[in-house]
Amino acid sequence: MDLKNIIAAITLSAAVIVLYGLFFAPTQEQINNLNNKDEKNITQNTDAPTIDEKIEVKTITREDALGKDNRVFFENAFIKGSISLLGGAIDDLELKAYNKTLGSKEKIQLLNPASTNNGYTFNTGWATRSNIETPNSNTIWKIDGTNKLTPGGAVKIYFVNNSGIRFERLISIDEKYLFSVKQTLINNSQETFKVYPFARINRNSLPDDLTDFYILHEGYTFITGENIEEVDYDDVEEKKHSTEGSTGVLIQGDKYWMTSIIPEQGRNFRFDLDYKDKYRASYIDLKGYEARPNTLIEHSVKSLIGAKEIKQINKYKDDLKIEKLDLIVNYGVLYFIIVPMHKILSYFFNFTGNYGYAIILLTILVRVVFFPLNQYSMKSMGKMKSLGPEIENLKTRFKDDKQQLQREMMKLYKVNGVNPASSCFPILIQIPIFFSLYKLLLLDLAMRHSPFVWVWQDLSAKDPLTIFNLFGLLPYSVPTFLEIGLLPVLMGSSMWLQMKLSPQPSGSDEMQKMQKKIFMLMPLFLTVILAPFAAGLILYWVCTNILTIIQQYIICLLYTSPSPRDLSTSRLPSSA
């Protein structure tokens, strides 16, 4: 395509976008007013009360916060923590299998008391429009029975209000990350009132490991029936979000960790998100229960609190019978590629015991699958390279007649069986594969802190070496933007060699010179751009380049020796 046409197309596209923004796009105020109106309609068209308890927070250390209240302790093979008897919140949870940083012994502390800077809690309760006293954040709960929660033994806590109404919570955990809270209300009074069970997740601040990367969703996800809505933290700060449903789950997800609210399925409920000094996510049952004198009401809520382990989440999806629960780890539109790729990678890991070797085997498998396409593409590239002198000759003969030049080049390609576009198609096909592997390495918790060899002890992190201190041989550090590791250098070098084996732009005009410069600078540009990417992804790219170079070199040997057939000897009729 002519360079002028490309520039004209880009300019026209930019002009359309600018004109739309200036004259036709709605203002932010109009968008906010419309959104706020929709949210108000959702929350007003129900009898359920709002959950808006004001909690005054005095920031103290985590140790002091855990020590000032009586607690119920829980533990299984993967998590341990405690439940505060002041308010009844699950506000202390440590992931026993995951270290905070590579090489450290400090574990991930996912939940923290509300009185700390990183306060992050899960709680349940009853909301009502009556004057009945219901449990709140200042309620002192008592233990009925054992005070140690384990997979084999649930814990019951209770509170009796000034009217004699008894509130109970039977809390249980499984062998992994599932909490179940069965709430019971025993109305020993002579009053009749209506109550609405709820659950909420409060978080004081953004997670410390927030990546804020545009292709990675971190924040909240509504899954209601067939609908999925993702809400980022900054969206919650701007306005309230609400949605209704009768099946589904509310997920609060970081890159590797999660909390959630799983209501009783089949009952109408509403999920709400807002920000008032803290990030607040809540669920409320919209139908509610009428509590008559001397009656008992029961309602259950579940929550997954822990690590985003793909295999375990798939098991929970089947056990809890909640469709799309596996989207806690959301791979986006390439889900259909990433899921089988994850299964293959897991198989190779089980075979080798090393994710680095598993990535290499996956690369070989991808090359084998795409071998016919790559073979066809490289044959075409080899033939294109052999046609270089003849193409240069045509450009000299028809330098003043562009249309005739194009016709003669097309005839030359046809005589020699070359399709110029065929070399691009296999590359386009493999772009989704590359991007899918990137999302897999980015989101798969199994890749976190997974070693390869030598200094590459975390394939989910960038290469720790840098060329600017000779890969650690010189005793000084460099700025972050200069941290270009050994794997990115190998990737750029192999890409440069791969381009040297590919057909180069021919000709001496300005456009051809510009293309040659772009081709020459492209490996350097991509080396710098991709240096911060996960080492596992760069390893995949290096292996792909090496295999491509081998295949390309063989093709070049086979298809550059024969002389191209000149048009002068061709029996094709000349153009009119």
Record the tokens describing residue 552, joined without a space.
């390309």
- Residue whose entry in the numeric block shows the structure tokens 């140790």: 63
Q: How large is the greatest C-alpha to C-alpha distance in the chain, in angstroms?
A: 108
Contacts of residue 378, Cβ cutoff 8 Å, sequence gap at least 6: 423, 551, 552, 555
Helical H segments across 151-302, by residue range: 233-238
* Residue 94, number of CB atoms within 10 A of its CB: 17
Contact 538, 488 (CB under 8 A): yes
Cα–Cα dist 169/472, whole Å = 57
Taking CA atoms, 232 is separated from 48, 189, 236, 252, 511, in Å, by 26, 44, 7, 10, 44
pTM of full prediction above 0.75: yes
What is the distance, to the nearest Å, from the Cα of residue 219 to the centroid of all Cα atoms in its chain? Answer: 10
- pLDDT, tens digit only, all 576 positions of the chain: 343 444 444 445 545 544 444 444 444 444 444 444 444 444 445 567 777 666 655 678 899 999 988 999 999 999 999 999 999 999 999 999 999 888 788 999 999 999 999 999 999 999 999 999 999 999 999 999 888 999 989 999 999 999 999 999 999 999 999 999 999 999 999 999 999 999 999 999 988 877 766 677 888 999 988 888 999 998 999 989 999 999 999 999 888 999 999 999 999 999 999 998 899 999 999 999 999 999 999 999 999 999 999 889 999 999 998 888 888 887 777 888 888 888 899 899 999 989 889 999 988 888 888 777 777 776 666 666 677 777 777 777 777 777 877 787 788 777 777 766 666 666 677 778 778 877 887 788 888 888 888 778 888 878 777 776 666 666 666 666 667 778 888 888 888 887 777 655 555 556 666 767 777 778 888 888 888 888 888 888 888 888 888 877 776 676 554 444 544 444 444 433
What is the arrangement of strands in the sheet containing 155-160, beginning at the earlier edge strand? 142-143, 155-160, 166-173, 178-187, 295-304
C-alpha torsion sign, points 356, 358, 361, 366 = negative
